[in-house]
Every structure is written in structure tokens, then in C-alpha cells.
Structure 1
């Protein structure tokens, strides 16, 4: 787990929490009550959808439940709890009785310390999602941003109109560029009339593996590149995508923890 995590209080304004998450490109923030006990987690999916730039709405109305993970929780059990909660990161509490925040654990933290089992799927094609949402380099960024928030996607591969893999565009790419629509206008004050294209912000090259690459290689790649997903290509055509959730599931196979 990561110690000394950033957190917010349930009576903080949601716009304040949004600023913290936006500036630090965070996917989730632990939420504390007045006694510094964890009451839940705030996700970027909820926060980035807040339209107002000025609001007296507090974090309390957006808090989600969190899995009970303590420093003594078995790492494979923690992986299972994250998967069940459909969370990318979760607060670590001192105990189920003492809900003091002591850290945060993420999918990446767990993947650094576990390995596929003998019964795990062997190759990327066995765990990848075959039906992949993609975008084109000439797609409107504002439209794509709206879709990413609606679908809760943090990254979407960019392909040519002949399905040739070209790159990827992430929420962080769009936010850093200043084209993200957060609140009534984006952070740089641009209006909705801008027609900037995805090619302006997409990251290249696209990190990818072949369908026959091992699950272990996929884990190593996402950790080394600090990416949330790995694209799967065959002769430079996109055939699937495997994210950290997929890789965690693979590592749980055969452990008896399902």
C-alpha cells in the first residue's frame, strides 16, 4: 500500500475535491468524517461529471462504499475485494473497528507483488476484451471526453479508419492539454465551440502486445509503462485490450479466492 495518502473530508466542497483529483490525475480519494475515520471513497467518474464551477454541494452526497481492507488483509483477498467493488484503488483502514486511514492500495500496487498461478490463463488473448471502443484521430475531443466520462473509460485506443493502431488518448492527456470540459467551461476557459481533434492530444506510440504474449509479460508492461491497459494487436490491427482488472482476475485463477 501507499502511505500518507491524500484525502478529503465529507463536508469539503465537491469542487475542491475535483480540483485535487484533476491536478493530481487521481482516480479515487478516501473520504473522512470529522473524527478522521474513513466513510467511503470518491471516484473521478462522479467528480468529473460535476458541471458547476461554483457549488456549495459537499462531498458527502457523492461518497461510495469501499471494501474493508486492512494492513493485515491477504494481498490476494485485497485483489478480490477491489474486483468485487469495481474499484481501481481503495483506502486501507487500521481495522474494521478503527477506521483510521493508514494508506491506499491500488490495482498496480497489488500487481507488483503477485504472479499468475499454474491455473491462470497463459496468454493475453485468453483475458483480453475483444470488443473495444476506439476513436479516430479526426474525432472531436469534446465529443470523446463526454463519451469517456459516460462509459467510465480512462483510455481509448486511436485507430485509423482502416483499424490500424496509431496511439491512445487518456483522460490525463485531455486534461493536461486543457481541452477537458470540467464544469461550465474547461480549465483554460475554452468554450464548447472548439473543434480540436484527438490527434492533437493522443499519445504515441501505442504500447501493445501480440495475442500470444504471456499474461506475465502484460503485467510487466503495464507496470513498467505505468499504464492502465495494454492494447493487443495483430499485424498492427487492434484485436483487443487487457486492463489491470483483467490481469488481476487472471492472477486469482486457481487460488480458491473467487
Structure 2
């Protein structure tokens, strides 16, 4: 398979980066601070001896208000994706797909966290091999979350957090207008300051426009190529002029799984 050899030569240790880590005894307000101040959606959680036990998602962390300062992390830990340093990228991708996470935590033989491998980093490499099967319609999410361009960003962002959505599609009536992602919000200082004061700026001042979309009958490999080329984590799916879904990197990974 084209690119398969290069893919299999890459191991977790080659793609590993430093990731935030907390313990089960830390407070949820600490997790909230880490996840609000960083680009990560997830933070690795260890037990008091430093062994990996799972992760905290940004959705749970942001639901905990400052008034609940005594809530511990241990009650919110989710089962995550963990791999060994010598795990190949296909194994990492499978672990991420099954856990539904944005990263796989790399641990040693004793479960100690060494670092993490981000889906965004391995995704372009995974897409170089001919292992994607099916159409966009096979793996898209139906009934995608939408908002209007004149809605207040604060309200839309609150819905993102509440529904654990990474992006909203912006529709002006029945017309696709743009896309607003959680990454766009968190990476823009002006927007974050607006959120802290109520988030009353309109979505249209932050959204990415024009939106890059794909037809539902296209091959899933075409969606993967578009994501890599434009550094996108999700793409609106159209049936002609009608919005019918959204596909993200995890959907593409399901296409990889179908081949295997």
C-alpha cells in the first residue's frame, strides 16, 4: 500500500508531545483552569503514585463553577486511550477511535505518563495510506449543530460546552455561511475576553467563512484530504444546497477501521 511502510515505521515515541497532567486528588477548578488556558480539550489524570487512570474532558471541567471549589477530579475521570512507547500509528489511531478522544496517552510499563500523541498530529500521516473505505455519508454525523450568524457567541459557546460539540455550522436561513469551532474561540484572546464579559459579540465576527464543505456522496478519503490540506477538524456535509451532516476526524478514522 502506498505510504504504508512509512506509516508503520512511526511509533508513539516518535510523535509524543508534552501534555497537561493532574491527579485524582486535585480540584476540578484546577482542571478547569488548565483546560481554559491551553489548547488541549483533555487533561491526563493519574493516581497519587503517578499512574495513568484516565482523563478529564473540557466539557466536564467547564461545567464546574468557581463556587464548587471543593469538588475533586476523581469523580469525573473517564476511561481514555493509553498506548506503549513502541505502539505503531495504526494502534494509536484505533485506541483514539474507540475512546473517542483527541489524544492517546503514552505510558511506560508501570503506567507512568510519558507524554501524549495528538490525533491532529498523526491524522495527516494516517491519510497517506490507502486504507479508507466508504463515502462521507457512511461516517458523517446527522443533524449537525447549527447557529445563526447574528447569535451571541457566548450563547453558542455555552451550547458547545453543554453538548460536547467541537464546532457549530453557521446558517443564514438555509444557506451555509460559515463554521465556528471551539478552537477558534479559545485561540482568540479578544473572543475569550468577550466570553468572560458575557460573549455578546456576534458569531459572524469570529466564524470561518466561506465554509469548506463536501458532498455526502464523496469518498471519505476526499474528506480526509480536505481536512489535511486546510487544517480542519470537521467539515459540513451537503446534499446539493442542503446541509445534511458534519464529518470530523473520528468519522474518517471509522473509514480506516472499515478497511482493517
TM-score bucket of the superposed structures, by smaller chain: 0.7 to 0.9
CA distance, structure 2, for counterparts of residue 189 and residue 110 of structure 1:
33
Is 1:159 the equivalent of 2:171? yes
Tell me, yes or no, if the aligned pair for 2:170 and 2:178 is still in contact at 8 Å: yes
Alpha-carbon distance between aligned partners in 2 of 1:28 and 1:177, rounded to the nearest angstrom: 20
- 1:102 is aligned, of 97, 100, 114, to 114
1:190 aligns with: 197
Deviation at 1:246, TM superposition (A): 0.7
Q: Does structure 1 retain, via aligned residues, the 8 Å contact 2:136–2:220?
A: yes
What residue is the counterpart of 2:126 in the other structure?
114
Partner of 1:202: 207
Cα distance in 2 for residues equivalent to 1:190 and 1:118: 47
Equivalent residues of 2:29, 2:65 under 8 A apart? no
SS in 1 for 2:66: coil
**Deviation readout 1:101-141 (Å, 9 max, x if unpaired):** 122123333423324656711x3233323322211112233
Confirm or deny that 1:90 pairs with 2:101: no
Shift of 1:81: 2.4
Q: Deviations over 1:132-191 (max 9, x none)?
A: 221111223333223212211010110111x211111122333436666xxxxx786424
User: Is the 1:28–1:44 Cα contact (8 Å) retained in structure 2?
Assistant: yes
- Partner-residue secondary structure (3-state), 2:83: coil
Structure 1 portions without partners, runs of 5+: 181-185
Q: Which consecutive unaligned segments of at least 5 residues does structure 2 have?
A: 1-14
CA shift, 1:212, in A, is 4.1
Is the contact between residue 27 and residue 89 of structure 1 (CA under 8 Å) also seen in structure 2?
Answer: no
Q: Distance in 1 between matches of 2:123 and 2:200?
A: 39
Q: How does 1:241-252 map to 2 (within 5 A)?
A: 241-252=246-257
Cα–Cα, structure 1 residues 229 and 81, in superposed 2: closer, same or farther, change >3 Å?
Answer: same
How many aligned residue pairs are there?
A: 244
- Root-mean-square deviation (CA, aligned residues, Å) is 2.7
2:238 pairs with 1:233: yes
| Equivalent in the alignment of 2:155 | 143
1:214 aligns with 2:219: yes
Which range is displaced more, 231-240 or 39-48? 231-240
Q: How has the CA–CA distance of structure 1 residues 119 and 27 changed in structure 2, closer, same or farther, with 3 Å as cutoff? A: closer
SS where residue 35 of structure 2 aligns?
helix
Give the secondary-structure state (helix, strand or coil) at the position aligned to 1:158.
strand
TM-score w.r.t. structure 1 length? 0.81
What is the CA distance between 1:5 and its match in structure 2? 2.2
